[in-house]
Structure 1
């Protein structure tokens, strides 16, 4: 829908080829787990409050599903030297990604690289509290220091968005993501995407997101009018 809307508004859209996203996410996780657990405990110790491990809402009228994800990381004990090696790997990958981005000048037909990347925010729509199990779709931009802005696209239609037949899964996480979806549970759940720009381009990202949002609004209006 977003691609169709942008093309209808006169914009050029090409397919983006991800570059070593799995490796970038691995590096982010190594950096995060090197001290975040200790940081959580130090901050909360000042008040004695517990460290939340999930956004699940459990009260007397509801029950936890028992399949919740915890965002509290396991503490990784690494030396300063080991951490700097990870940082060096990240810096090298950032350089490769910059070159990859610049190389799109050969494909855009505009004489310049792509202005932004439009990508999923997660491998699913908005999920019930406590059920978010994957941050890789945003963590990769943390590794690259690229600003991103999430924008709404549509909502789940239980009648149209039926669960597809099972397929060959890449790994256990892929299978868990497939099993998570249920049309009834996710009915009317927001569906969003993110627009990603380069480092230090926060204002440009906001401006481009407004352009995309406007194109989507015009597309939805014209589509609705054509059905009348």
Structure 2
């Protein structure tokens, strides 16, 4: 990224993506082999449990203000596994939403950080709340069909003209 002479994007700096060291070709081959083994294990888990899709959070928070994003944990696995995903907006922050006590952050430092990020509905007015739908590798078209069904269920207030989600 440095070779492109472009200004750094703050949110990319926040997750330190630019610091990932380069890998040699033999190292890349080794990493791809390890990833293939993990992909096989996930495929077995998927098939053995007869899964059509997995619905997960897309992030540990609502949509964040510009350049405040700093977590790739909820999407990174699926990118690594080469599984298709789609984010479906299901609601947005409302004026009556309250700040939850940081005492509820029982899962460590990152959890506490997430609780502290939300400062109230004023700073996050209309920020999207969403879910992520994950499909099996190389089954993008099937995921698109599932996403349409999940979207219809979660967003019943929308009309027939509701646009199809982008994949």
Say whether residues 1:187 and 2:143 are aligned partners: no
TM-score normalised by structure 1 residue count: 0.61
Distance 1:166 1:211, change over 3 A: same
Distance 1:128 1:85, change over 3 A: same
Q: More displaced, 77-86 or 133-142?
A: 77-86
Distance 1:168 1:126, change over 3 A: closer
Q: 5+ residue gaps in structure 2?
A: 159-167
The alpha-carbon deviation at position 72 of structure 1 amounts to 4.5
Counterpart-to-counterpart distance in 1, 2:91 and 2:152? 14
Secondary structure of the residue aligned to 2:14 is coil
Say whether residues 1:87 and 2:15 are aligned partners: no
Larger Rg: 1
The alpha-carbon deviation at position 209 of structure 1 amounts to 1.1
The alpha-carbon deviation at position 75 of structure 1 amounts to 4.4
Match of 2:154 among 216, 221, 224: 216
RMSD over aligned CA atoms reads 2.4
Secondary structure of the residue aligned to 1:166 is helix
Say whether residues 1:140 and 2:103 are aligned partners: no
TM-score normalised by structure 2 residue count: 0.80
Say whether residues 1:121 and 2:58 are aligned partners: yes
Give 2:2's aligned residue.
41
Q: 5+ residue gaps in structure 1?
A: 1-39, 57-67, 105-112, 222-228
Counterpart-to-counterpart distance in 1, 2:57 and 2:2? 32
Cα shift readout 1:13-47 (whole Å, capped 9, x = no counterpart): xxxxxxxxxxxxxxxxxxxxxxxxxxx234x2xxx
Cα shift readout 1:106-136 (whole Å, capped 9, x = no counterpart): xxxxxxx121111111100100011101012
Higher relative contact order (CA 8 A, sep 6+): 2
Say whether residues 1:201 and 2:162 are aligned partners: no
> 5 Å matches for 1:25-104?
40-42=1-3, 44=4, 49-54=5-10, 69=14, 72-104=17-49
Match of 1:157 among 94, 100, 123: 94
The alpha-carbon deviation at position 153 of structure 1 amounts to 0.5
